[in-house]
């Protein structure tokens, strides 16, 4: 069984997609323009059918992805899944109808029908559309940019088919040279679809007038659809930035309305700017709260890797300890000058510093006892001794901290006495240094 993720399978799938696009462009063009089929073009039809048939074969031997990304390799299951899914489309588009003409079966009227049957290859475009949808949902490229590219692709493809249709109804018939005829028809298709309609190419027969009418109605609808789509896609090209700008507008309007003093306004804006620079303005805990517990833990572990690496206490600690603590850590931000902890208060939590500097200060805030920075922690004395806070802690710059509440601290450290005594020793040392 082949895995759908092997390099071979990826290259093959891309190759088949390219062939699909080629077939979607060449098949209708050949039918209406009727250019001479010479050189490699003679073989192109046979090769297309051959590759499409090979693809059908490969699909019976390619494992499928079940729920949660698990690969299903059971041959029966794979075959049933394929037969119930894409098989019909893949198979019809792979039937070598051109062989009928080669064997002389398609003569006269039949020849035209056989030629039209080749259009069934276009069914494969459904596969292309599904692929684009999947790519849009999973790609690392901006999904908005991808959607714009796909929209452009379908517009160009649609205009090509309409141009072929225009030739089929006898449009631009006075152009003798086939290349120029196609180009003029394509130009007609774009101007009519775009509702520009210069009027330099006009329908003359009834069929052409009817065809032009239908395209104009289609064009009017499509124009609105495309403009609406492009406008909303462009507005969302950077979702995070758009979200953040909207948030800032709201905050600024509120600050102005409530006539908050300028210096305080500046601090609020500074906080949001820091939030933007450090995490694109997202409130991580609210994003995480929507995830199921197992995923939340995995993401927390990943996001908090830097704090696990930075805090010496976590580095050598057992995995279970890190898991439990990390799941309970809450990210909090403080701006310069903020008091994180006030001396004499009852302590309900301790903090780990991810980024930034804090000062351990006297209750009045005029003498600094110590400065703590990345990877250090504070607020543990109140949790260990159950006494009020022994000092105040003030943020010296923007600080990204992780808060650990008392109940988790007590519960987790009960099971890890060695770590508990380490924290207690540090608390004692700090207490002693304060008394000296
Ligand atoms: P806690 O008493 O809960 O709140 C104030 C915190 O400041 C205290 O816990 C310690 O974590 C920290 N702290 C107090 N004194 C010192 C010091 N001398 N050096 C470093 N940190 C200190």
How far does CA 172 lie from the centroid of its chain? 44
Domain endpoint, select from 282, 311, 342 = 282
Q: Are residues 114 and 61 in the same domain?
A: yes
Average pLDDT over residues 401-422: 88
264 with 299, same domain? Answer: no
Question: From atom 15 of ligand 1, which residue's Cα is the shortest distance away?
Answer: 430
Considering the domain architecture, whether residues 10 and 66 belong to the same structural domain is answered as: yes
For residue 430, the CA-to-ligand 1 centroid distance in Å is 6
| CATH at residue 398 | 2.60.120.10
CB-based contacts of 252, cutoff 8 Å, min separation 6: 269
Cα 254 from Cα 215, distance rounded (Å) = 50
Distance 279 CA to ligand 1 centre (A): 29
Do 5 and 132 have their domain in common? yes
8 Å CB contact between 330 and 351: no
Q: What Å distances lie between residue 384 and 381, 408, 431, CA to CA?
A: 5, 13, 11
Residue 206 within a domain:
no
332 located within any domain: yes
Residue 178 lies in a domain: no
80 inside domain: yes
320 with 271, same domain: the answer is no
CA 354 to ligand 1 center in whole angstroms = 17
Which residue, judged by its Cα, is nearest atom 16 of ligand 1?
430
- In this structure, of 227-236, 268-277, 420-429, the range with the lowest mean pLDDT score is 227-236
Residue at 326 is within a domain: yes
pTM of the model: 0.62
For the cut 90, the answer to whether the pLDDT of residue 184 exceeds it is: yes
Is the domain of 5 the same as that of 131? yes
Structure tokens at 112: 């035209």
Which of 137, 157, 177 terminates a domain? The answer is: 137
Q: What is the pLDDT of residue 288?
A: 81
Note the pLDDT tens digit of each residue in 134-176. Answer: 887 776 677 778 888 999 999 999 999 999 999 999 988 888 8
* Interval 349-360 mean pLDDT: 92
CA distances from 4 to 13, 26, 65, 232 (A): 9, 29, 8, 34
Out of 116, 137, 158, pick the residue that ends a domain.
137
User: In this structure, which residue's CA is closest to atom 11 in ligand 1?
Assistant: 378
Same domain, 256 and 384: no
Domain membership flag for residue 6: yes
Shared-domain flag, residues 413 and 344: yes
Ligand 1 pocket list (CB less than 6 A): 341, 347, 360, 369-370, 378-382, 389-391, 393, 430, 433-434
Domain of residue 271: give its range.
Answer: 239-282
Residue whose structure tokens are 């969302």: 236
Residue 202: helix, strand or coil by DSSP? Answer: coil
**Within a domain: residue 67?**
yes
Q: What are the pLDDT digits (tens) for 44-58?
A: 888 999 999 999 999
- With the most atoms of ligand 1 within 8 angstroms of its CB, the residue from 346, 347, 390, 425 to mutate is 390
Chain-wide mean pLDDT for the chain? 87
Instruction: Give the integer Cα–Cα distance in Å for 254 and 412.
Output: 42
Tell me, in angstroms, the distance from the centre of ligand 1 to residue 360's CA: 6
Ligand 1 atom showing the smallest separation from residue 378 Cα:
11
Q: Residues 258, 374: one domain?
A: no
Q: What is the CA(394)–ligand 1 centre distance, in A?
A: 11
Q: Could you tell me the distance, in angstroms and rounded to a whole number, from the CA of residue 339 to the centre of ligand 1?
A: 13
- CB < 8 Å & 24+ apart, contacts of 73-79: 73/1, 75/1, 78/1
Asked if 249 and 376 sit in the same domain, the reply is no
Q: Is residue 306 part of a domain?
A: yes
CATH number at residue 271: 1.10.287.630
121 and 35 both lie in a single domain: yes
As for how many domains the chain has, the answer is 3
User: Do residues 339 and 255 both lie within one domain?
Assistant: no
């Amino acid at each position: 069984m082949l895995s759908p993720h092997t390099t071979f399978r990826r290259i093959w799938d891309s190759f088949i997609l390219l062939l699909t696009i080629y077939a979607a462009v060449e098949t209708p063009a050949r039918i209406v323009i009727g250019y001479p089929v010479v050189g490699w073009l003679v073989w192109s039809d046979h090769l297309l059918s051959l590759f499409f048939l090979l693809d059908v074969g490969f699909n019976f031997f390619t494992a499928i992805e079940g729920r949660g990304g698990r690969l299903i390799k059971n041959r029966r299951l794979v075959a049933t899944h394929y037969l119930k899914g894409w098989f019909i489309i893949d198979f019809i588009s792979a039937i070598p109808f051109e062989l009928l003409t080669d064997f002389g079966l398609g003569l006269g009227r039949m020849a035209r029908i056989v030629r039209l049957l080749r259009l069934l290859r276009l069914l494969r475009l459904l596969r292309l559309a599904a692929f684009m949808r999947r790519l849009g949902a999973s790609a690392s490229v901006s999904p908005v940019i991808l959607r714009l590219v796909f929209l452009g692709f379908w517009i160009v493809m649609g205009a090509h088919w309409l141009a072929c249709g225009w030739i089929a109804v006898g449009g631009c018939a006075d152009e003798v040279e086939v290349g120029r005829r196609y180009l003029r028809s394509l130009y007609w298709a774009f101007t009519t679809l775009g509702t520009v309609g210069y009027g330099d190419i006009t329908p003359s027969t009834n069929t052409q007038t009817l065809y032009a009418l239908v395209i104009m109605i289609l064009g009017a609808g499509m124009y609105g659809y495309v403009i609406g789509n492009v406008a909303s896609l462009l507005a969302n090209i950077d979702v995070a930035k758009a979200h953040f700008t909207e948030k800032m507008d709201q905050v600024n309007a509120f600050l102005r309305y409530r006539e908050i003093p300028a210096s305080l306004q500046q601090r609020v804006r500074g906080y949001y700017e820091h939030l933007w620079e450090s995490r694109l303005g997202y409130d991580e805990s609210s994003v995480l709260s929507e995830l199921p517990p197992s995923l939340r833990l995995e993401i927390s572990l990943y996001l908090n890797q830097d704090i696990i690496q930075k805090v010496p206490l976590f580095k050598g600690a057992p995995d279970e300890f890190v898991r439990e603590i990390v799941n309970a850590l809450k990210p909090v931000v403080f701006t310069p000058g903020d008091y994180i902890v006030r001396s004499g208060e009852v302590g309900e939590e301790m903090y780990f510093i991810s980024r930034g500097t804090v000062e351990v200060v006297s209750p009045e805030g005029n003498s600094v006892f110590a400065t703590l920075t990345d990877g250090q922690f504070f607020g543990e004395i109140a949790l260990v001794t159950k006494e009020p806070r022994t000092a105040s802690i003030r943020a010296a710059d923007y600080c990204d901290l992780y808060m650990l509440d008392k109940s988790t601290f007590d519960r987790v450290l009960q099971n890890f006495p060695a770590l508990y005594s380490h924290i207690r020793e540090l608390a004692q040392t700090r207490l002693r240094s304060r008394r000296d």
